[in-house]
Structure 1
Amino acid sequence: MKQLLTAALLSLAVPVNAQTVSIATLPQGSVWNTMGNVIAGAVRDDGVRMVVQPYGGNLAMMQALEQDLAEFSINDINDVIAAAQGIDHYDGQALNDLRVVAKLNPLPIGLYVRTDSGMTDMSELEGKRVSSGWDAFPLANSHVAAILSTGGLSYDDVTGVPVPGLIRGSDDLASGRTDAAFFAVGGPKVAEVAATVDGVRFLAGASDEAALERIQAIRPAFYFSEVQPAPFRVGVEEPMMMVTWDNVLLAGAHVSDETVTAMLEALAARSAEMGEAYPPLRAFSIEQAYVNYPGATWHPGAVAFFEGRGIAQQDL
C-alpha cells in the first residue's frame, strides 16, 4: 500500500499530456480516502493523473461532482440514490448529475466498542452512549439506525452523543466519551483506536429475515454479508454477519465518455495491484462491477465500456 500511496503523491510528476482528474473523498483516516489514494496510485501508470481531494462529508463530495469541482468520487450506493431522489439530508436539493461508473466492493459496517467494555452483542447498547448528530456526515444517521435495529434498538434506546463526523466519533470512543462508535470494517481509524485502548471489537446483531426487512426499510440497498476475521479487519474476532453496502465509483455528468473509459481500463488493468495495496479492494472485479441499482443512473461511457466487453448488468 505504501508504494501506491507514494505513487499517488508523485502523480504531479507525470507528463503534462496525461489526463488530470480529481477524486473527492472523505478526510484522511476514512476508508474512502484510503481507497482514493490507492486508486490514484494504481491508475497513474495508465495515463490517468489523479489528485485526491478530501471533503468534510458526503453532501460536500456529491456537490463537488454536481458543480463540476471534481470528476470522480466514492460513495455508498444508498447515498447516491438518496441524492438523486432529493431525500434525507438531500431534502429539497436533488442532485441530477451523479453517474455510476463501477461497483468497487462491498463494505460491511458496524458499531464497535472497547474490548474492556465486555460487550459483544448489539442489544447490550441499550442505555449506552453512542455517537449521534453527524452534522458533517449525515449519512451516518441512517446507517447507525440500521445497525442498531439488528439489536432490536433505535436511537431512542441509547444516549446520543453529538459528533460532527466519523473521525471525531472514533476519537470520542478512544477518550471514553462514548461507549460505541460507527465505522466501516477495515478502516484505518479502527486500527488506530484499537492500538490506543488495547483492543476493540465490532458488536454482533441479528441477520434473519426480520432483521433484513428492518435494515432495508431504512436503506433499500443494504444487505447482510458474512465477514471473516483477517489482520486488516481489526475488531472482527470471529465470522459474523454485518450490515453491508456497495461502494461505487461515481463521475459527474460533465465527465467525458473517454475519461470514464480510460478510468475503467486502468482499474481493470490494475485490480490485482489495488487489492494487494488495500485488501478490501480484492473484492473488486471488472466482471462484477456493472450492477442494476434502482434509482441510480449509469454514466454512458461506463455502459458502453461494459457492453463492449460483453459484461451483462447484474441485479442487486
Structure 2
Amino acid sequence: MRSSFKKLTTTLIATLSLTAAASVAQAQEPLTLGVTGQGSTVYSMGAPLAQLLEANGIPVRLQPMGGTTAYTPLFGTGEIDIGIVNFSVLRSGYTGAAPFPQANEDIRLLSVLYPFMVGLIAREDSDIASIEDVAGLRLPGGFNQQPYINPIIRALLATGGLTTDDVEAVPVPTIGAGLDDFDTGRIDVGYFGIGGGRVIQSDSAVGGLKFIPVPDTPEAVTAMNQHLTGAFVHTLEAGSFVGIDADTPVMAYDMMLAVGADVPDETVARIAEILATNKDALVEGFGGYAGFEPELMAKPEYEIPYHTGAISYYESSNLWD
C-alpha cells in the first residue's frame, strides 16, 4: 500500500510539474507585433516599443510586412496580436471599406501613440515652396504593394486645391521605391513619413531635402479629410526632424497601437501601463515619440472600440473621459 501511495504521489507531482511548466511556457509566448519593413517610420516606432515591452516582462516578436494593410486583417486570427497602424487604415479595416474586402470586427484600439506626420518632399535647392507648386510635376503613384498610400497623397494634394490629375504620377510599388526614384531624379517630388530613417538616406543622396508645408487653414483640414478621415495640421519646429529647417505645418493623423480582441485583458492593461509610464524610453528609441502624450492615449470618441483591458487601465488612471 505504501509503495502504491508513493507511486501515486510521484505521478501527481510529475503531472503538476508538467502542467506548471506548460503554463509558464504559454505565459511567455511572445506577442507578435505587426510593423512595416525596415527603414520605414512604422518599423522605427516598433523596434523601441518591442524593446520596452521586453524589458518590462512582455516578450514581443517583430513581424515586418509590406504595409499596414497586410496585417490589419490579421488581428484576432492569432497571426498578429498587436500592431502599429494609422487610424484611417484601422477604420477601413474595421468597417470593411476599401481596400479591405470584408470587415474585421476583432480589431480593438489599445492606445494613441502620437500624431503620425507625413509630407511631400522636394530638394532643398528647388523653388518648390507650397503644395500648389507641385502642379505639373512628377510624383510617385500607384503603390500597388501599399495601396493605402494613395488616399494620403490625394489628401496632401487637396490641401493645395490639387488632384492627381494635376500631377504626373510615376508608378512605384512602395514608398521606399518612390524615394529611390526621388534620389535618382526620376521623379521631382517624393513622399514619406517625417522622421523615417529612409528620409535621412535621401537627404544625403540629393544634397539636402525639405518637406513641403501644407496650408494651416480650416479649409485645408476639410479638404484633407475628404480623403483621409481624422487628418489634421500639426506644426513642427525648425530643426526637429531632417527636412524641417523652418517651422513647418504638415499633415498628421493619429498612429495607433491596435490589438486583437482575443488578447487577454491583463496583458493589454499591462501594455497600456508600460506605455503611460515610460515615455522617455520610447523617445530615446525613436524621436517621433516626443509627440506621444500619455494623457491622450485614450480617445473614446473613436468609433472603433478600445480593448476592455485598455479601458480598465484608463478608467483606473482617470484617462477615460
TM-score w.r.t. the length of structure 2 is 0.88
- Output the CA distance in 1 between the equivalents of 2:235 and 2:75: 33
Map 1:239-254 → 2, pairs under 5 A: 239-254=247-262
- Output the CA distance in 2 between the equivalents of 1:137 and 1:117: 28
Residue of 235, 246, 250 corresponding to 1:238: 246
- Output the CA distance in 2 between the equivalents of 1:229 and 1:257: 41
Secondary structure of residue in 1 paired with 2:30: strand
- Runs of 4+ in structure 1 displaced over 3 angstroms? 15-19
Match of 2:73 in 1: 63
Match of 2:305 in 1: 297
Matched, 1:280 2:288: yes
Match of 1:261 in 2: 269
Matched, 1:147 2:143: no
Secondary structure of residue in 1 paired with 2:99: helix
Q: Is the 8 A contact 1:19 1:47 kept in 2?
A: no
**Identical counterparts, % of pairs:** 26
Matched letter for residue 302 of structure 2: P
Q: Is the 8 A contact 1:276 1:282 kept in 2?
A: no
Secondary structure of residue in 1 paired with 2:305: coil
Tell me whether 97-106 or 220-229 shows the greater mean CA deviation: 220-229
Matched, 1:308 2:311: no
Tell me whether 289-298 or 97-106 shows the greater mean CA deviation: 289-298
Map 1:1-316 → 2, pairs under 5 A: 18=28, 20-90=30-100, 92-231=101-240, 233-313=241-321
The alpha carbon displacement at 1:115 in A equals 1.9
The alpha carbon displacement at 1:269 in A equals 3.2
Q: What's the C-alpha RMSD, in Å, of the aligned pairs?
A: 1.6
Matched letter for residue 271 of structure 2: M
The alpha carbon displacement at 1:186 in A equals 0.8
Closer, same or farther in 2 for the Cα pair 1:19/1:285, shift >3 Å?
A: farther
CA deviations on 1:49-83 (whole Å, 9 max, x unpaired) are 11111001122121232432011000111111111
The alpha carbon displacement at 1:293 in A equals 4.3
Q: Is the 8 A contact 1:108 1:227 kept in 2?
A: no
The alpha carbon displacement at 1:116 in A equals 3.4
Q: Is the 8 A contact 2:214 2:251 kept in 1?
A: no
- Output the CA distance in 2 between the equivalents of 1:156 and 1:64: 34
Match of 1:6 in 2: none
The alpha carbon displacement at 1:300 in A equals 0.8
- Output the CA distance in 2 between the equivalents of 1:290 and 1:156: 38
Which runs of no fewer than 5 residues in structure 2 stay unpaired? Answer: 1-23
Secondary structure of residue in 2 paired with 1:292: coil
CA deviations on 1:270-312 (whole Å, 9 max, x unpaired) are 2211112212112223222001343312111111110111212
Secondary structure of residue in 2 paired with 1:68: coil
Which runs of no fewer than 5 residues in structure 1 stay unpaired? Answer: 1-14
- Output the CA distance in 2 between the equivalents of 1:230 and 1:264: 31
Q: Is the 8 A contact 1:43 1:270 kept in 2?
A: no
CA deviations on 1:134-155 (whole Å, 9 max, x unpaired) are 1111111111111111221110
- Output the CA distance in 2 between the equivalents of 1:211 and 1:285: 25
Q: Is the 8 A contact 2:151 2:228 kept in 1?
A: yes
- Output the CA distance in 2 between the equivalents of 1:100 and 1:134: 27
Q: Is the 8 A contact 2:300 2:320 kept in 1?
A: no
CA deviations on 1:123-143 (whole Å, 9 max, x unpaired) are 111111101111111111111
Closer, same or farther in 2 for the Cα pair 1:294/1:45, shift >3 Å?
A: closer
- Output the CA distance in 1 between the equivalents of 2:28 and 2:273: 15
Matched letter for residue 278 of structure 1: F
Q: Is the 8 A contact 1:24 1:64 kept in 2?
A: no
Secondary structure of residue in 2 paired with 1:117: coil
- Output the CA distance in 2 between the equivalents of 1:199 and 1:293: 41
The alpha carbon displacement at 1:19 in A equals 5.1
Matched letter for residue 268 of structure 2: V
Aligned length: 297
The alpha carbon displacement at 1:212 in A equals 1.4
The alpha carbon displacement at 1:23 in A equals 0.4
- Output the CA distance in 2 between the equivalents of 1:150 and 1:142: 13
Secondary structure of residue in 1 paired with 2:59: strand
Greater C-alpha Rg = 2
Secondary structure of residue in 1 paired with 2:290: helix
